[in-house]
Chains A and B, each alone.
Chain A
Amino acid sequence: MADGKVKKVDVKPDKTVYKSLALGGLLGGGGECSIDVKDGKAVRIRPFHYDEKYDRKHLNPWKMTRNGATLEPLMKALPGTFSLAYKKRTFSPNRIKYPLIRVDWDPNGERNPQNRGKSKYRRISWDEATDIIASEIRRQHKLYGPLSILIQGDGHGECKTIHTPHGHQGRLLDMMGGFTQQVRNPDSWEGWYWGSKHVWGQGFQGMMSPAANLIKDISENSDMILFWGGDPETTPWGFTGQYATRVCYFWTQAGIKQIYVCPELNYGAAVHADKWIPVLPNTDAALQLAIIYMWFKEGTWKKDYVKTHSVGIDYVKKYVMGEEDGIPKTPEWASKKCGVPEWTIKALAREWGKKVTSICHYFGGGFIRGPFSHEPGRLECVLLGMQGLGGPGVHQCQITYFGMPRAEGLKSIRYFNPALTERLRIPCRTTIDAWGKQLIPKTLIQDAILKPPLVFYGSGGQECQTEEQFVKYTYPIEKEKGGTLVHMIWTDTPCRITCWNHGNWTIDAFQHESIEFVVAQHPWLENECIYADIILPANTTLEVEDIVTNSRQGPHFQSVTIQEQAIPPVGESRSDYEIVLAIAEKLGLGEKFSEGKTTRDLQKDVFDTMELGDMTTWENFMEKKCFVYPVAKDWESDSPGFRKFYDDPKKNPLQTPSGLLEFYSERLATNFPDDKERPPYPKWIEKSETHDERLSSERAAMFPLLCMSNHGRWRTHSQGDDITWTRETPTCKVLGSDGYNYEPAWINPKDAAKRGIKDGDIVKVFNERGVVLCGARVWERMSPNVVYVDHGARHDPIIDNVDRGGAINTISPDGLTSKNACGQATTSYLVDVQKVSERDYQEWRSKDTESFDACFKRDYDPASGLRFNSWVEGGMQ
């Protein structure tokens, strides 16, 4: 025994800083963590404890009960797992450490756009880089006018406010006459945006809103919850953390049945499902129609509610019962399309007709992101409407995104936080608004560059109103309004290849001769960075001083925290704000851009505009470095969801023209009379001019599997693909026999056996649009006829249209949600999967030996993936 002989280890940190390490970004925090810093090193990242600085009494914790089970908040935050591994992100071997310039891009000579993605980089100074960028901006303005510069400055990222990762360049260029905006379109909730809005009005980007107190009302009143497509154990990690898991366990204890309808046994279904109903990807509309059929047939729907709260049920009835097209949408009809047995469809319809039922989502999943996703989106509204939407326990709920108890004194629960000053909000506008003078939906960027001009309806901006979907846009806009084609791209969101539609065409667009200059700013050398001409090193949240409003309604408690710098910047990296400021200075706009404000001034601005002075003092706040909001005393009195509409639709109309649920949309009928893909009321669309991606297609002879995609559990979209610790989990990567860590492709043992595929094999997932290599995960978590690959893996091109990195969206359809809805359709499309063979490699090498050899020579470490050194001349440590 060594008792008494062992000296105590000194574990006391020098300081502890607060960081919000979820990856949703956009001014709202989540994944609240404490970082212990010792000897200048971040030694530990751990969940933030609310009661470290505030006692339980101050927090006034809420409580929910049902059938003897109780749910109360824990006194700690529940960050997603990758948040706890964030040191690995900050110190990734793939961090960009210095400004870089592409070796064969010469602003005064040959620009070689065709070599983007092929040629290497060399180090340059900040001074040199910012000089070139400033001069290129002036050149663009002189030759074409300000709108020739395309801003890609949107999307998710680290939770920061002053140094928010996206959109600062939009604020600068706006001061100089404007820019062309890449409008960020829904990339998780397409069907509700392009569909549901037309039924129940604006909602929150199309999802049901208001959404107060949904968790309480469901907990107290629902008997059954349908988790339809989305995964409460995956997607919330990127935004707030793991609060949903505790809610789901509580519902199980309370005896509330949880039914999962999804092609894959997702992580929520794996541990919470009372029943898993595997449905073929993007065939949910057939299943929904058959349920409606059963309700009509058996009279198990709320006729009185429908009469007073909706318009258009007769159209739905005629269609569903077959009076319109001669095809009754029976369970037998649906079963053939969706793969769910007829008897199970009938049982589900009866249970739903009998039991008080809500539908829960987070975002994403096979349900809402495929071709024609507005149809399942709208049918969901019809189904909920037929059962008395807004009544006790009948809701659509984005579990732990909204619907948690209200905090006292918190000005906004929206994550882009309208409570903040304009100065801090402007960068974020590029993600949520369509505010550029010339607009290109993100889904159409490749088309805009490769085959202009474009005409489209609705920009698809996140916060755009429903009416905007009827606005006709052109790209370019009229010349007299400054319209021009785009000739320069300034991106701080280099993930289009792996996160958006038909990523392979993104590459073609970046290599197009019309694009004279591409500048990228990013912490990691990944995805589109290698298609840029100048790359600027941005830093991560650990390296900056900031303030974050953890205002999203997911955590147990909301808070505002001062986010001190934990460690010095890696290499020569700067924050995204500091990068744009440096360029502004070169353009003589430094003072205007900074407004002469220090970080402390801006922190105080946040304190003031959040009206935190009503809750605490600035001195007290700065001493504690955090304020945790108490739960409002009267939180239980907030009317849940659509309850007011439910109680009195005349007095509390929805934001639709009729004020009612519009199962039939007169507006769609008027604006798009010939639209067969999004008709005035929701239908089953087998195929159309835009998409032919069903198992019934002739194409299925060659590509007999449906590829479904969700947000990965170990990433938020593309963020976090290089974390060595998460990559060791069996669902993050599959180590191939060649030592490369492949993105998993889930496949059912029956489909695998037919193809001679074994678990761990390197496989190719392919269709006409290209090939993606993956590692086979052969298991019973996947239903037959489907292969499942998450989007967002880091792209690693072998040759054109052949990817080794698992970036599955490179082969997703280019086509939009439907012809008048410019969403993306990046799940549920036809592919085949086969073992990759020696012959495949030979064929690819013979097509493009240089690229092939370069790919296999790239500096690679299975632990973290591709290395920075591969792309930089002479390498750099």
Chain B
Amino acid sequence: MKVFVIDVGICNGCYSCQIACKDEHVGNDWSPIAKPQPDTGQFWLKLQENICGTVPKVKMHYVPLICQHCDKAPCIPACPINAIYKRDDGLVIIDADKCNGCKACVDVCPYSAIYFNEDLNLAQKCTGCAHLIDGGEWKIPRCADSCPTEAIKFGEESEFKDLIAKAEVLKPESKTKPRVYYLNIPKKFIAGTVYDPIEKEVVIGATCTVTGKGGKKYTVKTDAFGDFWLQGLEDGIFNLTIEAKGFDEKKYDKLDTTEKDINLGDIPLDKPKKK
């Protein structure tokens, strides 16, 4: 049974996967696995860009989104004419010769991975390049072959057991049992730079602690640039304390990471008032 394992941690956002998919499918007819993809506007592999934080604490990550080839694919029962099927190797295919364009599958896909080709009156999506895999010469689909960092991996589930154990699936709440696994999708961060406004120097080694839901704590020390990056935080409310020898403690209450990552900017620490 085939799986995709996609390591977001080494995706450089080059879009080669998205473009190689188009190269394979635009203007080429691989019926009945796939008829041609429209030149523009549809992305059987779509790279999603995420920009997190504010200047200068900004990080990006990219998530390649494809049909998740779910084991409990809602598109299969949704198709009134049984044109969508799951192969023995796990790939989910819309039979390009059978599909009659009713669009029922497009609406039920929780991943918005099915596109509708108006010109051909046809639902279309990632096929895992089944036409190539079946030919025998190709072991991996075009997106994986074109990936410069091997962030997109494709192969037997057994072969990737260790990676899958560390991976997550997108939208687990949809309970469709995707066959696409993701590694290293970043969680939220709270970051800043701590400095001494009198000496105009960064403060190195300041202890920055956030306390989240249920009293869970994360601690880091500021680095040689006075920076702290509290990474891997869940969505939620956090209280932050910054402590450094010779300075007053600084507190931030109710930092909310639900919607976005937080950059607190350059944070001056006050010296204790002389008694």
Binding site for B on A (CB under 8 A): 1-3, 6-9, 11-12, 43-47, 74, 76, 78-81, 84-85, 87, 233, 241-243, 245-246, 249, 265, 267, 270-271, 273, 275-278, 331-332, 341-344, 346-348, 350-351, 724-730, 748, 779-784, 863
New contact pairs (11) apart from A270-B58, A863-B39, CB-CB < 8 Å:
A1-B86, A2-B93, A80-B14, A81-B14, A233-B14, A271-B13, A344-B225, A344-B226, A347-B225, A348-B225, A351-B224
Are A81 and B225 interface neighbours, CB within 8 A? no
- In the complex, the chain A residue whose C-beta lies closest to that of B42 is A728
Q: Given the known A-B contacts A46-B20, A350-B224, A351-B224, are A245 and B58 also in contact in the complex, defined by CB atoms under 8 Å?
A: no
Are B33 and A9 interface neighbours, CB within 8 A? yes
Are B131 and A84 interface neighbours, CB within 8 A? no
Q: Give bound CA distance, A79 to B16, whole Å.
A: 9
Q: How large is the interface on B (under 10, 10 to 19, 20 to 34, 35 or more residues)?
A: 35 or more
Are B202 and A748 interface neighbours, CB within 8 A? no
Are A9 and B30 interface neighbours, CB within 8 A? yes
Q: Which residues of A contact B149 (CB under 8 A)?
A: 245-246, 249
Are A241 and B148 interface neighbours, CB within 8 A? yes
Q: Which residues of A contact B193 (CB under 8 A)?
A: 341, 343-344
Q: Which of A243, A275, A278, A351 has the most CB of B within 10 A?
A: A275
B261 CB → nearest A CB, Å: 10
- In the complex, the chain A residue whose C-beta lies closest to that of B30 is A9
Could you list 29 A-B pairs, sorted by A, with CB under 8 Å? A6-B33, A7-B32, A9-B33, A12-B135, A44-B24, A46-B20, A85-B19, A85-B23, A242-B12, A246-B149, A249-B10, A265-B60, A271-B12, A273-B59, A276-B56, A276-B58, A331-B200, A341-B266, A343-B266, A344-B202, A346-B200, A346-B202, A347-B225, A724-B39, A725-B39, A725-B40, A728-B43, A780-B55, A782-B55
B134 CB within 8 Å of chain A: yes
Q: Which residues of A contact B60 (CB under 8 A)?
A: 265, 270-271, 781
Q: Given the known A-B contacts A270-B60, A275-B227, A780-B53, are A3 and B134 also in contact in the complex, defined by CB atoms under 8 Å?
A: no
Q: Give bound CA distance, A27 to B23, whole Å.
A: 27
- In the complex, the chain B residue whose C-beta lies closest to that of A249 is B10
Q: Which of A342, A347, A863 touches B40 (beta carbons < 8 Å)?
A: A863
Q: Give bound CA distance, A331 to B60, whole Å.
A: 30
A561 CB → nearest B CB, Å: 19
Are A726 and B19 interface neighbours, CB within 8 A? yes
A744 CB → nearest B CB, Å: 13
Q: Give bound CA distance, A3 to B90, whole Å.
A: 11
Q: Give bound CA distance, A43 to B135, whole Å.
A: 15
Q: Which residues of A contact B95 (CB under 8 A)?
A: 2, 6
Are A84 and B20 interface neighbours, CB within 8 A? yes
Q: Report the 7 A-B pairs with minimum CB-CB distance, sorted nearest first.
A: A270-B60, A242-B148, A78-B148, A9-B131, A2-B85, A343-B195, A11-B135
B225 CB → nearest A CB, Å: 5
Q: Which of B43, B57, B60, B138 has the most CB of A within 10 A?
A: B60
Q: Which residues of B contact A782 (CB under 8 A)?
A: 55
A84 CB → nearest B CB, Å: 5
Q: Which residues of A contact B12 (CB under 8 A)?
A: 233, 242, 245, 249, 267, 271
Are A783 and B56 interface neighbours, CB within 8 A? yes
Would you list which residues of chain B between 1 and 33 have a CB under 8 Å from chain A? 10-16, 18-20, 22-24, 26-28, 30-33
Are B195 and A341 interface neighbours, CB within 8 A? yes
Would you list which residues of chain B between 38 and 68 have a CB under 8 Å from chain A? 39-41, 43, 47, 49, 51, 53-62
Are B14 and A242 interface neighbours, CB within 8 A? yes
Q: Given the known A-B contacts A347-B225, A779-B51, are A725 and B19 also in contact in the complex, defined by CB atoms under 8 Å?
A: yes
Q: Give bound CA distance, A343 to B55, whole Å.
A: 16
B31 CB → nearest A CB, Å: 7
B168 CB within 8 Å of chain A: no
Are A85 and B22 interface neighbours, CB within 8 A? yes
Are A347 and B30 interface neighbours, CB within 8 A? no
B71 CB within 8 Å of chain A: no
Q: Which of A45, A273, A784 touches B55 (beta carbons < 8 Å)?
A: A784
Q: Which of A245, A343, A351 touches B196 (beta carbons < 8 Å)?
A: A343
Are A245 and B148 interface neighbours, CB within 8 A? yes
Are B132 and A11 interface neighbours, CB within 8 A? yes
- In the complex, the chain A residue whose C-beta lies closest to that of B24 is A44
- In the complex, the chain B residue whose C-beta lies closest to that of A731 is B49
B159 CB within 8 Å of chain A: no
Q: Give bound CA distance, A350 to B200, whole Å.
A: 14
Q: Give bound CA distance, A815 to B14, whole Å.
A: 35
Q: Give bound CA distance, A350 to B223, whole Å.
A: 12
Q: Which residues of B contact A267 (CB under 8 A)?
A: 12-13
Q: Give bound CA distance, A277 to B226, whole Å.
A: 13
Are B31 and A81 interface neighbours, CB within 8 A? no
Are A780 and B54 interface neighbours, CB within 8 A? yes
Q: Give bound CA distance, A273 to B132, whole Å.
A: 37
Q: Which of B19, B33, B61, B196 touches A271 (beta carbons < 8 Å)?
A: B61
Q: Which residues of A contact B93 (CB under 8 A)?
A: 2, 6
- In the complex, the chain B residue whose C-beta lies closest to that of A732 is B15
Q: Give bound CA distance, A121 to B121, whole Å.
A: 40
Q: Given the known A-B contacts A9-B30, A278-B56, A729-B15, are A3 and B87 also in contact in the complex, defined by CB atoms under 8 Å?
A: yes
A860 CB → nearest B CB, Å: 14
B146 CB within 8 Å of chain A: yes
Q: Which residues of A contact B145 (CB under 8 A)?
A: 46-47, 76
B201 CB within 8 Å of chain A: yes
Q: Given the known A-B contacts A249-B149, A343-B195, are A780 and B51 also in contact in the complex, defined by CB atoms under 8 Å?
A: yes
Q: Which of B18, B59, B134, B137 touches A270 (beta carbons < 8 Å)?
A: B59
Q: Give bound CA distance, A863 to B40, whole Å.
A: 7
Q: Which residues of A contact B148 (CB under 8 A)?
A: 78, 241-243, 245-246
B30 CB → nearest A CB, Å: 5
- In the complex, the chain A residue whose C-beta lies closest to that of B268 is A343
A45 CB → nearest B CB, Å: 6
Q: Which residues of A contact B226 (CB under 8 A)?
A: 343-344, 347
Are B200 and A11 interface neighbours, CB within 8 A? no
Are B16 and A81 interface neighbours, CB within 8 A? yes
- In the complex, the chain A residue whose C-beta lies closest to that of B60 is A270
Contact with A along B159-192 (1 / 0, CB 8 A): 0000000000000000000000000000000000
- In the complex, the chain A residue whose C-beta lies closest to that of B95 is A2
Are A332 and B225 interface neighbours, CB within 8 A? no
B122 CB → nearest A CB, Å: 16
Q: Give bound CA distance, A47 to B226, whole Å.
A: 43
Q: Which of A84, A276, A341, A347 touches B19 (beta carbons < 8 Å)?
A: A84
Are B56 and A728 interface neighbours, CB within 8 A? no
Are B201 and A343 interface neighbours, CB within 8 A? yes
Q: Which residues of B contact A47 (CB under 8 A)?
A: 145-146
B250 CB → nearest A CB, Å: 16
Q: Which residues of A contact B33 (CB under 8 A)?
A: 6, 9
Q: Which residues of A contact B146 (CB under 8 A)?
A: 46-47, 84
B150 CB within 8 Å of chain A: yes
B153 CB within 8 Å of chain A: no
B160 CB → nearest A CB, Å: 18
